[in-house]
Amino acid sequence: MGWKNICKRRLRVFAVTLMIYLDYKAVQKKAKWVSKGKEDALWARTHERNARRVLNLIIELEGLWVKLGQYLSTRADVLPEAYIGLLKQLQDSLPARPLEEVRQTIEEELGKSVDELFSSFDGNPLATASIAQVHRATLKDGQQVVVKVQHVGIKEVILEDLKNAKAIVDWIAWAEPQYNFSPMIDEWCREAPKELDFNHEAENTRKVSTNLGCKKDNDGTSHTNSVNVLIPEVIQSSEKILVLEYMDGIRLNDIESFEAYGIDKQKLVEEITRAYAHQIYVDGFFNGDPHPGNFLVSKEPPNSPILLDFGLTKSLSSSMKQALAKMFLACGEGNHVALLSSFAEMGLKLRLDMPDLAMEVSTLFFRTSTLASEALENAKSLNGQREKNMKIIQEKMNLDQKEAKRFNPVDAFPGDAIIFMRVLNLLRGLSSTMNVRISYLDIMKPFAEEALLGKLRNAPKMNMEWICNTPVHSSVEEKLRQLLVQMGDKILGLQVCAYKDGKVIIDTAAGVLGRYDPRPVLPDSLFPVFSVTKGITAGMVHWLVDKGKLKLEETIANIWPEFGTNGKDLMKVHHVLNHTSGLHNAMADVMQNNPLLLCDWDQSLNLIAKCSPETEIGTQQLYHYLSFGWLCGGVIEHASGKKLQEVLEEAIVHPLNIEGELYIGIPPGVESRLATLSLDTDDLEKFASIQSRSEIPGSLQQGNIIEMVTTLPFFFNTLNVRRAIIPAANGHCSARALARYYAALATGGNIPSHSSLSKPPVGDHPHIPKFSSAKAKRKHRSCNIRTPSMGCSIFSHNDDSITYNLVSNMVEEDTKQCMFNKPNIHDAFMGSGDFSNLVFSEGKFGLGFRTFESTDSHDTKTFGHSGIGGSTGFCNVEHNFAIAVTVNKMSLGGVTRKIIQLVCSELKIPLPVEFSEHGEIGPDMQLSLQQT
């Protein structure tokens, strides 16, 4: 292609593009001054006029523009009818290239003349497309074939067209920033040239055929998620020639033949969709160009789809395939945590934290397709939704109108996802063109599940590869890992960390992050630990007492005036810590009627302040399963004058250097490290026997405890709950952070040494992830943005915390640091010694912590807290021992019990009764706590 032709071609493209752009802008202004009836007619004429301009330009230039036209012709769900009607012509055939040119290309590529290669060769092409044209022929052995011959000089044309397309997209992004398609054109520029090598297409064809089970020697067995499609066999190929098996089929636009053969369009398009779901989610290798011209329908029953043209294909890595599958399932289930986690896994970065908006936009790709007749209304709806979303972003980011117009919420978009999105849009367009509705969430779900569950099924469950490959700290850790392998399927994902005499002796992670998340659990993964959170919250109260900002015998109404109503004017801090306030069922009716109220921190505090005790204060120890968190949280905030999460950082996170591994209410950006809860269904029947026990709180006895337990994983997997401040039940931490906390408590607050074997190092994460903003950021010492609907806090990552981390990481092991000043702080934790008058005699709680009797003694030198499902953390003061176990497969604690038994036995540590074989339900303290 000479420079003259290049300049002429480029000039035509830009001239027509500018003409269309100016035409639409002019009509946009004119439409404001005409009536509704005239406005519709005005836009119809405008679409018709510009659609014809596009068609004429494509026919004139051919090359890459034909592919663009074919793509647009399939978008009957969003484009005006004028474009669809005119551009459909491109699906049939373009003007044929001269036969002599075709013959010459065949001879140059295959080294023989057409007459030497074929017994017959039809000079009239079956079809002529943008890159090649196809002729029917017969081989010397009598086999019927088709011969795909690349156009002479098309490579130069395509490469030039890509440059022009890139320039146009860049110009549009400048003129109309909300329409920035640069990532898409960049990916197309990378992938499109591959279509010019037919050897590449031949290999792709063979691979897809094998993956989908289209081989002739296939045994015909129907496997799980198998598909019923046909793909022609590759006979011969070169760079510019491709010889394929001939298959007699019907084109998708041949409506008369469809009716004559009785072809069900709905089933046809569903099978095509299933074939693509298989390619994407199961194989990780898919055809990126499913426009109507690349399909035929077999004339033989069962009228299977015939898939053609595998020049543009995309290969996905295992991690990307799983991330796309997780994104799909997250959209189907409305799981914001999984969605944001999938974004992080695939490398998609956002400039703002708006999970609801991210879910809404993502779900659009998988929505049920619309009919062609609904295209106009669908386009209006999508445009209206886009404008609404931009307004929300504008308000969220505090942008003026000009800034909002140029703001792009996406910071980085993975190239692998571009072709994936293109395929989804083409499939949607195909279904609209065929005038059928396709429910993508229903059809593609089994394949997405197979991408994740298949990985789990094939995981090395019964050997050491299932254990995270981190160094072994001790012989007891080696034995523990062997035990974990033996327990096998009882475990989904798990972490265990233990300290002895201030040193790490166990730091093990095993399994996967969730039922739909086959990524391995790492030492820094974050697990929801339910009531384990109470022990952390109690530690914050004691820290304030130790600093002189609060007294255990202080009347709560003195620091929280609103609290001193409805018989609570004499309630003291120690009553709350000891579960003797009489507010064990507080807000139970509110939670039953509106569970999401849990997520509103300020409203929950207001409501708890108005509650009335059910029993006389200080007379009975009844487990405060959720009210404990709001009561302690209110005390913490009113006594300190700070937000709860600020106190958490100051009292626990910073001193222990566990940044990024301990939260009460997660911040945005850590979703990719979250473990997802599931339920051990084998333990369900055992819950029924618990419900009748007298020590269970009344609100739990009255309800269906099995229903509650089965609902918990779903409820606490949701993002708004995980981000909420629920200091009784919503801690998210790693086992090593929790064990480090209890290792410090075991010594009265002395900070234990780090383990040099821990990978990644403890405290290696920035505590609060950063989100870039459209406006220049100003540095703050601390920024607390509260979201009323979620009750969550988002703190900026400031220079002070960075400095603190650097200093903490340089602290030598012999440096004396201590979280508490009082020498008898242990007695305060356990409600013993000088503090024994503040606790309920013979109760199972000290002041905020569960006290454990050992199997060989009634001494209570062990304290901590467990949560429903099996996670636990506790320490033994006499033996300077601390341990934490986190699990994501909720059960009655059988796995945790065996772990604790092994570790205590090996270390000669007294075994807490609740973890012995005689313990009724092990560590499930949320349902088995107090016995009055």
* Catalytic residue list: 289
3-class secondary structure per residue, 419-484: HHHHHHHHHHHHHHHCCCCCCHHHHHHHHHHHHHHHHHHCCCCCCHHHECCCCCCCHHHHHHHHHH
Whole-angstrom Cα distance, residue 673 to residue 766?
Answer: 13
Q: For the chain, what's the residue count?
A: 932
Angle at 451 between CA 413 and CA 343, to 5 degrees: 25
Give the 3-state secondary structure of residue 621.
coil
Which bin fits 523, alpha (ψ -120 to 50), beta or left (φ > 0)? alpha
Angle at 64 between CA 63 and CA 68, to 5 degrees: 130
Q: What is the dihedral of CA 450, 316, 360, 77, to 10 degrees?
A: -100
CB-CB contact of 385 with 314 (8 Å):
no
CB-CB contact of 282 with 267 (8 Å):
no
Which bin fits 869, alpha (ψ -120 to 50), beta or left (φ > 0)? left
In this structure, the strands spanning 144-150 and 517-520 are unpaired
Peptide bond into 302 cis (omega under 30): yes
**Sign of the dihedral through C-alpha 521, 523, 526, 527:** positive
**Half-sphere exposure of 190 toward its Cβ, with a 13 Å CA cutoff?**
14
Angle at 743 between CA 738 and CA 747, to 5 degrees: 145
If residue 610 lies in a helix (H) or strand (E), which one and from where to where?
helix 601-610
CB-CB contact of 132 with 294 (8 Å):
no
Whole-angstrom Cα distance, residue 840 to residue 41?
Answer: 82
Distances in Å between the Cα of 253 and the Cα atoms of 269, 427, 528, 664 are 13, 15, 54, 58
Whole-angstrom Cα distance, residue 848 to residue 835?
Answer: 12
Closest CA to 544 of 417, 440, 632, 661: 632
DSSP result, 702-736: HS-HHHHHHHHHHHHHSHHHHHS--TTT-EEE-HH
DSSP result, 744-796: HHHTTSBPPPPPTT-SSPTT-S-SS-----SSPP---S--EEEETTTTEEEE-
Which residues are within 8 A (CB) of 687 and not within 5 positions of it... i.e. 6 or more apart? 705, 706, 709, 892, 927
The token duo for 609 is 């302040």
Q: Amino acid identity, residue 646?
A: E
Give the 3-state secondary structure of residue 117.
helix
**Sign of the dihedral through C-alpha 645, 646, 652, 655:** positive
Q: For 257-276, give one letter per residue: b (16+ CB within 10 A) or e.
A: ebeeeebeeeebbbbbbbbb
Which residues are within 8 A (CB) of 163 and not within 5 positions of it... i.e. 6 or more apart? none
Residue 772, φ and ψ in degrees, nearest 5: -70, 155
